[in-house]
Amino acid sequence: MANRNNPTEAERILWEYLKGGFMGEHFRRQHVLLDYIPDFVCLSKKIIIEIDGGYHFEGEQPERDAERAEELKKQGFTVVRFTNEEIINNVDKVLETITNHLSSLSNGAVVSGNHLPSLREGSGVGSTSSVSGNHLSSLGDGAVVSGNHLSSLGDGAVVSGNHLSSLGDGAVVSGNHLPSLREGSGVGLTIIKVGGAVVEDEAQLTQLLSDFSAIEGRKVLVHGGGRKATKMAERLGIETQMVNGRRVTDKDMLKVVTMVYGGLVNKNLVARLQANGINAIGLTGADADIIRSHKRPPVPIDAVDAGLSKLPPSRRAGVGSFSYGFVGDVDAVSGEMLSKLIEADITPVVAPLTHNGEGVILNTNADTIASETAKALARYYDVTLIFAFEKKGVLSNPDDDDSVIPVITEQLFEQYKADGTISGGMLPKIENALAAVRAGVCRVIITRADAIDGRHGTVIE
């Protein structure tokens, strides 16, 4: 199974239309899916587009294609097939067919097991109706369902819902204030993760906050702050110990990072966003129980670097093992709670702190928090995750700021890791990015902090 870098003429023609966000949807080319690589896929609508050349009509291939389509159907995917000739000779007809499929996947919602074609004006539903015992006094704009006000209705439906400022093609069920109950809602969300180096640089931070504030629609900011924590610890006479790029967090250091991440950095970011007209709220994982984690278990000494020899015996967790202290590995992110804040026009600003549900705060890697948050919110939104730091992207040559690798796939990552092109702290960042893509996040980009418009940097696929 390998990506093809030599697209056919038909693939090139169709990709010119799809890659720009056809009908507002994000299509991927040659994206690994299950056990094969389709020509094109839109994860948010679960639609696959295949272009069949001559061999698809030979021997046992038609039967294999049918079997694969059936397996994909079981996973909720729709497979649409065209021949090379259809695209080359009549691309308009092909685009019309794709449009019809996308529209059929957008319209309607399932409410208590009943399919509703639409609850918007012009849907063919009368001015009064009954759905699962709920009286609908009006089904135009500003409809009222069981006494709950809907200021605007798109193609979705609501049962026993709360207030929604706008409804796209998703559904709200049993009082959950959510734009969708399936993967990919057609509603966009941008998550920006900003690193500690940018937080420390006033000029870069000012620019980033301005650019973040200018992003239209729903958004979340996840931040680091390690350099500020190191400086604060030094002022307090607390030694900073790093192993494999991770901060060793004993009880004293936990107090420092809680103060710096959850207080100094987080609240200053919130205040500055408020000044930019963004109604932000600062959160740690403990707030509203949005992120739970467990304390990282001891790891074998041979799994950490030579810096371990500089650590005091108290950091040894036993013979042949080592403990990072109060460091958390994420167990769960409450996408439901975050989506409620987001749909109330509140922008979450998330600090790299989580909790274990037993009263203990845990220091947690900010890249991991950004990735896990994106994965959780991908159930409700079409998520774009952008890691913003001081470089233009992932570099093939660390000494050349212009040597940006444009695209990294799973296969390319393994290759770059093996030959040493990518190493050090960039490894966990890309691993987190790839994990987000596998979980249904629409786009993941690693880029410089002054280029968070989604058009620059390294795309992770």
Q: Quick one: which of 18, 31, 167 has its CA closest to 101? A: 18
pLDDT score recorded for residue 370: 95
In 224-273, which ranges are E strands? 242-243, 246-247
The two tokens of residue 389 are: 């730091």
* 179 inside domain: no
Do the beta carbons of residue 26 and residue 42 sit within 8 Å? Answer: yes
- Domain edge (last residue) among 55, 79, 106: 106
Q: Are residues 146 and 225 in the same domain?
A: no
Query: Which of 55-59, 237-241, 278-282, 383-387 has the weakest average pLDDT?
Result: 55-59
Count other C-beta atoms under 10 Å from residue 165's C-beta.
Answer: 10
Mean pLDDT calculated for residue range 272-279: 96
Q: Are residues 126 and 97 in the same domain?
A: no
* 111 inside domain: no
Q: Are residues 199 and 261 in the same domain?
A: yes
Number of domains the chain contains: 3
pLDDT band at 108 (very low <50, low <70, confident <90, very high): very low
* 180 inside domain: no
Q: Are residues 352 and 397 in the same domain?
A: yes
Mean pLDDT calculated for residue range 47-61: 79
Q: Is the per-residue pLDDT at 404 higher than 80?
A: yes
Mean pLDDT calculated for residue range 385-401: 91
H helix or E strand, kind and range, residue 13: helix 9-18
- Domain edge (last residue) among 55, 73, 106: 106
More confident residue, 281 or 59: 281
pLDDT band at 133 (very low <50, low <70, confident <90, very high): very low
Mean pLDDT calculated for residue range 19-35: 74
Q: Quick one: which of 188, 158, 193 has its CA closest to 176? A: 158
Highest mean pLDDT pick, 97-111, 278-292, 435-449? 278-292
Q: Are residues 345 and 377 in the same domain?
A: yes
The two tokens of residue 315 are: 């950091």
Q: Are residues 236 and 366 in the same domain?
A: yes
Long-range contacts at 431-438 (CB < 8 A, ≥ 24 apart): 432/367, 432/368, 432/370, 432/371, 433/371, 433/385, 433/387, 433/460, 434/410, 434/460, 435/371, 435/375, 436/371, 436/374, 436/375, 436/378, 436/383, 436/385, 436/460, 437/461
pLDDT band at 98 (very low <50, low <70, confident <90, very high): very high
Q: Are residues 237 and 167 in the same domain?
A: no
Helix/strand/coil for 8: coil
Cα separations in angstroms, 243 against 77, 261, 298, 325: 44, 20, 13, 12
CATH number of the domain enclosing 242: 3.40.1160.10
Q: Are residues 253 and 374 in the same domain?
A: yes
Mean pLDDT calculated for residue range 445-451: 92
Q: Is the per-residue pLDDT at 139 higher than 60?
A: no
For residue range 298-330, list pLDDT tens digits in order. Answer: 887 665 554 455 555 555 445 467 889 999 999
pLDDT score recorded for residue 232: 96
Mean pLDDT calculated for residue range 219-225: 96
* 450 inside domain: yes
Distance separating alpha carbons of residues 89 and 87, to the nearest angstrom: 6
More confident residue, 187 or 263: 263
Q: Is the per-residue pLDDT at 369 higher than 80?
A: yes
* One-character DSSP codes across 327-366: BEEEEEE-HHHHHHHHHTT-EEEE-SEEE-SSS-EEE--H
The two tokens of residue 204 are: 């870069």
pLDDT score recorded for residue 44: 76
- Domain edge (last residue) among 173, 196, 217: 173
Domain range for 79: 9-106
pLDDT score recorded for residue 167: 37
For residue range 140-196, list pLDDT tens digits in order. Answer: 343 333 333 333 333 343 433 333 333 333 333 333 334 443 344 468 999 999 988
Q: Is the per-residue pLDDT at 115 higher than 60?
A: no
pLDDT band at 459 (very low <50, low <70, confident <90, very high): very high
| CA-based R_g, the chain, Å | 24
Q: Are residues 245 and 317 in the same domain?
A: yes
Q: Is the per-residue pLDDT at 200 higher than 70?
A: yes
* 183 inside domain: no
SS (H, E, C) 110-129: EECCEEECCCCCCCCCCCCE
Q: Are residues 131 and 273 in the same domain?
A: no
- What is the greatest pairwise CA distance in the chain? 75
Q: Are residues 97 and 160 in the same domain?
A: no
The two tokens of residue 246 are: 């991770």
Do the beta carbons of residue 161 and residue 109 sit within 8 Å? Answer: no
* 217 inside domain: yes
pLDDT score recorded for residue 298: 87
* 144 inside domain: yes
* 181 inside domain: no
Cα separations in angstroms, 148 against 100, 115, 163, 349: 32, 21, 6, 29
Q: Are residues 213 and 246 in the same domain?
A: yes
Q: Percent of the chain scored above 70 by pLDDT?
A: 75
